Chains A and B, each alone.
Chain A
Amino acid sequence: MLTMLARLLKALNSETSPWALAFGLALGMILGFTPLWSLHNLVVLFVVLTFRVNLSFFLLAFALSSVLAFALDPLFDYVGERLLTAEALLPIWYALYEVPLARLAQFNHTITLGSLVVSLVLFVPVLLLTRWIVQNYRTKVRARVNQLYIVQLVKGTKFWGAYERVSGWKGRFSS
């Protein structure tokens, strides 16, 4: 847990691209909100592992979103139900119904579609917001934070040791 937190701080304080962090958070949210064993999550995993997306932020977002999803499932069910029963969209659904790949994606399942649509709608705002926060943190907040007495105190703890170790890593996934 400490190592995980240390990695997050490392990523936040490193030169890692704010986009990498933002994509990590947004994609983790998709994985967490939607049913795990869905076809689109294979795509998400492919993107996360193949492109330079921050894994720490991705895993954090996945964990938090999974917990949130338990509470939000009725909302996802409602959204999916409304979309799948909307008259205007019926031709699309009927067409997709004939496509094997769409069947694999289980697009006609209310929670699967509802959670995916909600995740996609939130994706861009979450992406932009995360990037903005990271940028502002690095330029305006980080220096002040480092000067805080509490931070100085933390630097003397076991946690800071873990952080230092992570900082020293030249791991290929950390950038």
Chain B
Amino acid sequence: MKAIRWPGLITFLAIVGGLTLFIVVFIDGLVRVGLSAGLSRVNGAEVNIASVDLNWSPFSVTLQELQITDPEVPELNRFAAEELRAEVMFWDLFIGRVHITDLRANGITFGSERAQAGRVRATERDGEDAMDWRDRLAQFDIQLPGVEEVLGRADIRTPALSAEAEERFEARERAFRRVREELPSTSKVEDYQKRFEALSESRPRTPQELNRAREQFRELQRGMRDDRERVNAFLEVSREGARGTQEDIEALRNAYQHDLDRARALFSADQGSLTELTGILFGAQVQQWAEYGFMVFDFIAPLLQSAQEDQEQPSRWAGRFIDFDRNNRPTFLVENAELSLGLEVGDIRMQIRDLTWQHAILGRPSTFELSSADSPWWRALRLDGDLFIGAEGSISGGQRWALEQARLDDLALVEQRQFSAALQRAVLNSQGELRIDGGALRGQGRLLFTEAAFATGGEASWARYFEQALQGIQRFDIDLGVRGELARPRLSLQSDLDNQLASIMNRMVREEADLRLASVRTELNETTQRLQGELQPWLERAQAIQSQATDYESKLTELLRVEFDELIRGDSDRLLNRIRTRVGG
């Protein structure tokens, strides 16, 4: 029996040859699929590569149209590159080591829109509490109410109170008129006096005359008593009416003042809403600048960290590669990367050295540097920093930036139907620093705008306030604060622009509010003046009549106090004098 099976050997060679041919023909596609899957796992969301080209000497991989989905916003790419070429140490790939000696990427963009939303691993999407400046805009409203709206919406008391007071006044006046008609006339009171005097001087001599005089005296007393009751009834109604009217007038005055205060409050702008103008105007733009600025920390560091976790906690069904490198090199290292960032302001080149997540092994941090001078857009831009991922996965590092004389033209700040604003031109200088320790971000920077000119528009009623206010502002600065976690930086903006805008807008709003308040005041005035014009003269007249009635009452009371015997039998002169003195006759 022959030991070797020749047909089998030929089959083996055919299989090996076929496999080799298959790999040679389809290697690009296989690498594309493998890279897409591996990067998607590290990224936590779909990664697309249009095509892959392999070059064998030196071994390099060129990726066309690389798109890395943002796991938090799957409609956007967190990173995209038109072309990415990496020179890789070939043999290292077989032992699970990725050693890229040179990496070049062109047409890099951040936050670009995807043709369709990328698939995201379920664990990657969690609650997003990032600040949305557009929400602030939606909340922003310094619209002033109209006069009718103020009178209708607010708790305005004057008109209702006027109507009630008028109604009460009419009732009082009717009652007053009724009791006034019952009042004895002046001549009648004088007639009582004369009859009283006549009676005291009558000197009755006979019992008949005495009886007649007594009868006349009683009759006189009855008449005076009746009239005094009428006078008292009048006084009671009159006093009550005067007091009520006085109270109504007072209440009307108070209501008028209250209503004016209330209207003034309604017309005043919401001071709180004027403190976030910088955020509304520049929030989205600064956030975009920050995304560019913090690219290394915001994108590369989390990606490296994720890759590190992926490598250090492999599945027991997938196994892991163990490193036996005598030189103790990192298992992932990009020695040198030259990136061309396709920003709105043009292409910027960035250099990264020693990109890895195994800085503890490498013994030095990754460094990155971006420098651009005398571009059409700015006089100078410098950005540099370092990044160190510790063995336990903690990230630390720093970044500094300095931008000199950047020219901004037609920079859209807010573009919404209700309000739009653009920075037509400005010169921007900025510098700042960002530190990260154990994943916690801390940093601050300053943006100084000079020679600024704004353009605004929009349907919102308050848009014109902005238009007028921004016309007067040519110079302002924004202090940028950065806090929070690495993957979720939180920006805060503070600016003297807020103060400038708030001051100008407050003044404008106040002026307009004063105008509208004057209308409200006029309207309330009309109501109160008309009523007071009726009440006050009536009150004065009622008080005059009341004074007269009081006089009547005292005269009648005095006369009624005299007894018949005292009038006839006593010292008539003394009595008469006394009566004259009392009643003023």
Knowing A45-B12, A93-B324, say if A51 contacts B5 (CB, 8 Å). yes
B319 within 8 A of A: yes
Q: Which residues of B contact A168 (CB under 8 A)?
A: none
CB B311 to nearest CB in A, in angstroms, measures 13
Write 17 A-B pairs (CB below 8 A) sorted by A numbering. Answer: A49-B9, A49-B12, A50-B4, A76-B319, A78-B316, A90-B324, A100-B91, A103-B91, A103-B95, A106-B94, A108-B95, A108-B322, A109-B321, A109-B322, A172-B7, A173-B7, A173-B8
List, in ascending order, chain B residues with CB within 8 A of A93's CB. 322, 324
Residues from 38 to 71 in B contacting A, C-beta threshold 8 Å: none
Asked, given contacts A84-B322, A103-B95, whether A52 binds B317 with beta carbons under 8 Å apart, the answer is no
Interface residues of A in 32-79 (CB under 8 A from B): 42, 45-46, 48-52, 70, 73-74, 76-78
Contacts of A80 on B, CB cut-off 8 Å?
319
Measured in the bound complex, the distance between the Cα atoms of B507 and A149 in whole Å is 111
Residue B198, interface by CB 8 Å: no
Contact of A74 among B8, B15, B91, B317 (CB under 8 A): B317
Give, as a whole number of angstroms, the nearest-CB distance from B317 to chain A.
Answer: 5
A94 at the interface (CB under 8 A from B): yes
Asked whether A73 lies within 8 Å of B5 as measured between CB atoms, the reply is: no
Report yes or no: A94 in contact with B12, Cβ–Cβ below 8 A: no
Chain B nearest CB: distance from A140 CB in Å? 25
B252 to chain A, nearest CB (A): 91
Residues 293 to 338 of chain B near chain A (Cβ within 8 Å): 316-326
A109 close to B324 (CB less than 8 A): no
| In the bound complex, CA of A81 to CA of B321 (Å) | 9
When distances are taken between beta carbons in the complex, the residues of chain A under 8 Å from B3 are 51-52
Nearest B-chain residue to A110, judged by Cβ: B319
A172 to B15: give the CA distance in the assembly, Å: 18
Residue-wise interface mask of B (7-22) relative to A, using a CB-CB cutoff of 8 A (1 in contact, 0 not): 1110110011000000
Question: Smallest CB–CB gap between A84 and chain B, Å?
Answer: 5
In the bound complex, do residue B7 and residue A110 qualify as a contact, i.e. CB atoms below 8 Å apart?
no
Interface of B is mostly: loop
- Chain B residues with CB below 8 A from A94, complex form: 324, 326
Please encode chain A, from 123 to 155, with 1 for each CB lying within 8 Å of some chain B CB and 0 for all others: 000000000000000000000000000000000
16 additional contacts (CB under 8 A) given A52-B5, A74-B316, A93-B322:
A49-B9, A50-B12, A51-B4, A51-B8, A52-B1, A84-B322, A94-B326, A97-B324, A103-B95, A104-B94, A106-B95, A106-B96, A108-B96, A110-B319, A111-B319, A173-B5
Complex CA distance for A13 and B361, rounded to whole angstroms: 61
Known: A93-B324, A106-B95, A109-B96. Is A77-B319 also a contact (CB below 8 A)?
Answer: yes
Q: How far is the CB of A150 from chain B (nearest CB, A)?
A: 34
Q: Is A3's beta carbon under 8 Å from chain B?
A: no
Contact A97 B95 (CB under 8 A): yes
Q: Quick one: given A94-B326, A97-B324, A112-B319, are A50 and B9 in contact (CB under 8 Å)?
A: yes
Partner-A contacts on B (CB < 8 A): 1-5, 7-9, 11-12, 15-16, 91-92, 94-96, 316-326
Cα A42 to Cα B95 in complex, Å, equals: 18
Which residues of A lie under 8 Å from residue B321 when comparing CB positions? 106, 108-110
List, in ascending order, chain A residues with CB within 8 A of B5's CB: 49-52, 172-173
**Number of A residues whose C-beta is below 8 Å from B?**
38
Contacting residues, chain A, for B4 (C-beta < 8 A): 50-51
Whether a CB of chain B sits under 8 angstroms from the CB of A14 is no
Tell whether, in the assembled complex, residue B7 and residue A103 are in contact, meaning their CB atoms are under 8 Å apart.
no
Chain A residues with CB under 8 Å of B96's CB are 106, 108-109
Q: How far is the CB of B8 from chain A (nearest CB, A)?
A: 4
Taking a contact as CB atoms under 8 Å apart, the answer to whether B318 and A111 are in contact is: yes
- How far does the Cβ of A173 sit from chain B's closest Cβ, in whole Å? 7
- Known contacts A51-B4, A108-B323, A73 near B16 by CB under 8 Å: no
Bound form: Cα–Cα A17–B3 in Å: 12
- How far, in angstroms, from A175 to B7 measured CA to CA in the complex? 13
CA A172 to CA B10, docked complex, whole Å: 13
Q: Which residues of B contact A76 (CB under 8 A)?
A: 319
Picked from A45, A98, A100, A110, the residue with its CB within 8 Å of the CB of B320 is A110
Partner of B316, one of A50, A77, A100: A77
In angstroms, Cα B321 to Cα A45, docked, is 25
Q: Which of B9, B11, B319 contacts A109 (CB 8 A)?
A: B319
User: CA–CA, A146 to B8, complex, Å?
Assistant: 33
The smallest beta-carbon distance between A109 and chain B, in angstroms, is 5
Give Cα A76 to B318, complex, Å.
Answer: 10
The smallest beta-carbon distance between A112 and chain B, in angstroms, is 7
Q: Contacting A49 at CB < 8 Å: which of B8, B91, B323?
A: B8
Alpha-carbon distance A114/B92, docked complex (angstroms): 21
A78 and B324 alpha carbons, distance in the complex (Å): 18
Query: What CA separation (Å) do A78 and B1 show in the bound complex?
Result: 43
CB distance from A117 to the nearest CB of B (A): 13
In the bound complex, CA of A100 to CA of B7 (Å): 31
Q: What's the Cα separation between A73 and B4 when bound, in Å?
A: 34
What is the distance, in angstroms, from A23's C-beta to the closest C-beta of chain B?
12
Instruction: Give A45 to B13 CA distance when docked, in angstroms.
Output: 10
**B residues within 8 A CB of A85?**
322
Whole-angstrom CA separation of A48 from B318 in the bound complex? 27
The 3 closest A-B pairs by CB, nearest first: A111-B319, A49-B8, A97-B324
- Of listed A70, A85, A97, A175, residue having the most chain B CB within 10 A: A97
Shortest CB–CB separation between residue B203 and chain A, in angstroms?
A: 147
* Contact across chains for B16 and A110 when beta carbons are under 8 A apart: no
- Shortest beta-carbon distance, B251 to chain A, in Å? 89
Q: Point out the residues of chain A lying under 8 angstroms from B92, CB to CB.
A: 103
Nearest B residue to A98 via CB reads B326
- Cα A80 to Cα B317 with chains together (Å): 12
Partner of B324, one of A42, A51, A106, A108: A108
**Minimal Cβ-Cβ distance residue in A for B319:** A111
Contacts of B91 in A (CB 8 A): 100, 103
Distance of B27 from chain A, by nearest CB (Å): 13
Q: CA A73 – CA B317 in complex, angstroms?
A: 5
Partner of A50, one of B8, B94, B318: B8
Looking at A45, A50, A80, which has the most chain B CB atoms within 10 Å of its CB?
A50
Task: With CB as the reference atom, state the residue of chain B lying closest to A85.
Answer: B322
Report chain B residues within 8 Å CB of A175.
1
